[in-house]
Amino acid sequence: MRKKTVWLAVSCLVAASLVTVSCAPAEEVGGGVYGTATTEPQYGGSITFWLVSTDFFDPVFSSNAGPCSVLTYDKLVTGDWSKGPAGTGEYSFEADHVPEQFRTGHLAESWEMPDSQTRIYHIRKGVHFHDVPPVNGREMTADDVLYTFEWCQNHPKSTFYVSPAQRQAGTLATYTKIDDWTIKVENYQPDIALLDGASWVFVVPHEMIEEYGDLSDWRHACGTGPFVVENVIEAGSATWKRNPDYWMQDPVHPKNQLPYVDTLTGVVMPDETAALSALRTHQLDMLPVAWDKATSVMESNPELMFVERAPRATNVMFIRTDKEPYSDKRVRQALALAIDQQTIAGEYFEGSAHVLTWPYLPVNAEAFTPLEELPDEIRQLYEYHPEKAKELLTEAGYPDGFECEVIVYLLPGAVDQCTIVKEYLADVGINMEVNVVEGSTFSSLIYGRRYNDLAYCGWANASPQSTWGWAHGGVVDSIFNFSNVVDPIAQEGFDEWRATEDPVERSRMMKEEYLRQMELCWEIPLVAPTYHMFWAPWLGGFHGEVGLGLTSPMGANERFRYIWVDQELKSAITGQ
């Protein structure tokens, strides 16, 4: 096959990066041929894991990407571990987004929802900050929660900063202290996703910020979390020790105080080869591994446990829908029909990939419609129909095709996948130039809507509101509306969805709207590869879980509070 030969000549395989891998429905766990950890939790021991950076200690400035802050701080709401694989198995915890029915109170013992604009959080008593000056282990109260939310809104570096324009427009939530143990959150409009804020924001003590200005220096880290920062070697490693006064009991083993391990060490390994070598030699206890490396790891280390995961994110080409020729739906659909997604998944990725991951990921069944259940006119957009593509181009006034450009930056495999697409588009007369740009330039072009035709991007579309609300104009003036979609139906429908309390009805609304958006083809979603999660057999209580809330994959470090080390098994396998 001609194109397959071209692909094999491409210099780099398309592979998911260690930073962007994550979730999907659970597969059967494999490996562990020399034994698996005891099912009875044990205290002591250490876990070493891959760390993307020794930055991100400030949970206010980096709570969406803070692997370091996650270990030190707690949120009001988190994923309910007892409903995951370690407990009842009702949910896999393999996605960044966790549906509300699988969340539970954390620093908030419980919450109420009087209406779709209001949440009332009842703050847990008996929770103490770490015993470091000037906080000195004092008890956390509603004042700390109120202070954290206000700090998040007011600081320009915060992920949740509210601009003066937003304030003037009145488009922000208000936070009110009812008493020492109760906080009320009121949104400016009905929004069923109000709980999301409580799943994002880590509570901080005001004393540390008043003393030091922020919490970016690891020496100033002070939360209520299960681990206390012990030492950091810049760009090298970070070490945490067990918080002996942590408030939480294990929901699966309720007599046990968390956490179990004495020490956590995160090691910075920017090079994939080094990280794989560290996994193979047991210098790392767990690691996500790209699709094209997994078989090799299975063969070299049969003792490792593993599970295959579907993609956490979509590879997608955004289209300037506000410009000709892309304002014509027929042109956009022709682009999709010209690409043989099935062959790319089956032959290039050797079957380790998903064709359909947009506008919603398959792991979240509440809004996902499987490929085989799609209406014919939508399903064909994910199949290979070059003659139909030519017909649509001719109808739209482009019988000889046209020239265009896709901008892309050096995500792992991004240029390769664009090159594959270029080959297919050429067959229907579309000459696409692949323009590789530096990361900051790409951000400037895509956020400023200054790209001309197409832009290849990775999109983490795990939450139900991600694509509909942010990418497709549901939220007016969304900075993530890279395709410049202007669609009153999406805007009105999204407002209605946010005000709908019945989860069954919300699911119906999402599925119906996403089918409409798929047919309009505002973007070209591309094949996304799977990956494997590997971990040492001596890690007990772990089943490859990824996400425990609305944080990034690095937020998965919340799982470390529940995992223990079978030290006898570790010694038997490694001699250590």
Look at residue 475 in the predicted model and tell me its pLDDT. 82
Residues in the chain, overall count: 576
Q: How far apart are CA 57 and CA 297, in angstroms?
A: 32
Same-domain check for residues 329 and 257: no
Considering 182-196, 324-338, 401-415, the range whose residues carry the highest mean pLDDT is 324-338
Same-domain check for residues 265 and 316: no
Tell me the residue range of the domain where 247 lies. Answer: 42-269+541-565
User: What would the pLDDT profile of 257-277 be if each residue is shown by its tens digit?
Assistant: 999 999 999 999 878 899 999
Q: How far apart are CA 470 and CA 463, in angstroms?
A: 11
pLDDT at 342 over 80: yes
pLDDT at 474 over 60: yes
Look at residue 9 in the predicted model and tell me its pLDDT. 33
Closest CA to 132 of 207, 200, 182: 207
Range name among 222-226, 401-405, 499-503 with the lowest pLDDT average = 499-503
Look at residue 19 in the predicted model and tell me its pLDDT. 29
Point out which residues pair with 540 in neighbouring strands.
564
Residue 233 in tokens: 């070697």
Range name among 160-174, 466-480, 553-567 with the lowest pLDDT average = 160-174
Same-domain check for residues 181 and 87: yes
What residues have CB less than 8 Å from 170, skipping those under 6 apart? 188
User: What would the pLDDT profile of 132-145 be if each residue is shown by its tens digit?
Assistant: 999 999 999 999 99
Residue 4 is assigned to a structural domain of this protein: no
Residue 372 is assigned to a structural domain of this protein: yes
SS (H, E, C) 416-473: HHHHHHHHHHHCCCEEEEEEECCHHHHHHHHHCCCCCCEEEEEECCCCCCHHHHHHCC
Q: How far apart are CA 168 and CA 172, in angstroms?
A: 9
Range name among 102-111, 192-201, 396-405 with the lowest pLDDT average = 192-201
Q: Identify the helix (H) or strand (E) that includes residue 335.
A: helix 329-337
Place of tokens 């010209």: 338
| pLDDT band of 62, cuts 50, 70, 90 | low
Same-domain check for residues 265 and 348: no
pLDDT at 148 over 80: yes
Q: Which DSSP string corresponds to 344-383?
A: IIIIISTT-EES--SSS-TT-TTT---GGGS-HHHHGGGS
Cβ atoms 31, 299 nearer than 8 A: no
Same-domain check for residues 517 and 549: no
User: What would the pLDDT profile of 425-446 be if each residue is shown by its tens digit?
Assistant: 999 999 999 999 998 999 999 9
Q: How far apart are CA 528 and CA 466, in angstroms?
A: 18
Closest CA to 434 of 450, 415, 459, 453: 415
| Sign of the dihedral through C-alpha 564, 569, 570, 576 | positive
User: What does the pLDDT average to over 534-547?
Assistant: 93
Same-domain check for residues 185 and 262: yes
Residue 347 in tokens: 């032959």
Same-domain check for residues 227 and 373: no
What residues have CB less than 8 Å from 120, skipping those under 6 apart? 111, 112, 113, 114, 178, 182, 183, 184, 185
Look at residue 528 in the predicted model and tell me its pLDDT. 93
Cβ atoms 555, 70 nearer than 8 A: yes
Q: How many CA atoms lie within 13 A of 540 on its CB side?
A: 22
Same-domain check for residues 358 and 505: yes
pLDDT at 63 over 60: no
Same-domain check for residues 555 and 520: no
Name the DSSP letter for residue 145.
H
| pLDDT band of 549, cuts 50, 70, 90 | low
Look at residue 7 in the predicted model and tell me its pLDDT. 37
CATH number of the domain encompassing residue 559: 3.40.190.10
User: What does the pLDDT average to over 523-545?
Assistant: 94
User: What would the pLDDT profile of 38-58 be if each residue is shown by its tens digit?
Assistant: 899 999 999 999 988 887 788
Residue 6 is assigned to a structural domain of this protein: no
Residue 160 in tokens: 């949740």
Q: How far apart are CA 241 and CA 52, in angstroms?
A: 19
| pLDDT band of 555, cuts 50, 70, 90 | low
User: What does the pLDDT average to over 365-379?
Assistant: 91
Look at residue 11 in the predicted model and tell me its pLDDT. 30
Point out which residues pair with 50 in neighbouring strands.
267
User: What would the pLDDT profile of 165-210 be if each residue is shown by its tens digit?
Assistant: 777 777 778 899 999 999 999 988 888 777 777 787 889 999 999 9
Closest CA to 351 of 340, 359, 342: 342
Q: Identify the helix (H) or strand (E) that includes residue 8.
A: helix 2-9
CATH number of the domain encompassing residue 476: 3.10.105.10
SS (H, E, C) 193-240: HHHHHHHHCECCCHHHHHHHCCCCCHHHCCCCCCEEEEEEECCCEEEE
Residue 381 is assigned to a structural domain of this protein: yes
The more confidently predicted of residues 169 and 571 is 571
Cβ atoms 37, 22 nearer than 8 A: no
State what percent of residues in the chain have pLDDT above 70.
92
Point out which residues pair with 286 in neighbouring strands.
49, 535
Cβ atoms 278, 269 nearer than 8 A: yes
Domain count, the chain: 2
Range name among 71-80, 155-164, 359-368 with the lowest pLDDT average = 155-164
Look at residue 2 in the predicted model and tell me its pLDDT. 36
SS (H, E, C) 75-142: ECEEECHHHCCCCCCCCCCCCCCCCHHHEEECCEEEEEEEECCEEEEEECCCCECCCCCCCCCCECCH
Same-domain check for residues 525 and 546: no
The rounded mean pLDDT for the chain is 88
Look at residue 27 in the predicted model and tell me its pLDDT. 54
Using alpha carbons only, how large is the chain's radius of gyration in Å? 24
pLDDT at 530 over 50: yes
Residue 411 is assigned to a structural domain of this protein: yes
Look at residue 385 in the predicted model and tell me its pLDDT. 98
Residue 304 is assigned to a structural domain of this protein: no
Look at residue 415 in the predicted model and tell me its pLDDT. 92
Residue 276 is assigned to a structural domain of this protein: no
Q: Identify the helix (H) or strand (E) that includes residue 47.
A: strand 46-51
Residue 395 is assigned to a structural domain of this protein: yes
pLDDT at 13 over 70: no
pLDDT at 565 over 50: yes
pTM of the model: 0.88
Same-domain check for residues 552 and 466: no
3-state secondary structure at position 302: coil
| Sign of the dihedral through C-alpha 483, 486, 492, 493 | negative
Cα distances from 208 to residues 29, 221, 225, 348, 372, in angstroms, run 43, 8, 15, 52, 54
Look at residue 67 in the predicted model and tell me its pLDDT. 66
Name the DSSP letter for residue 257.
B
| pLDDT band of 556, cuts 50, 70, 90 | low
Q: How many CA atoms lie within 13 A of 253 on its CB side?
A: 17
Same-domain check for residues 257 and 367: no
Check whether the bond before 288 is cis (ω within 30° of 0): no
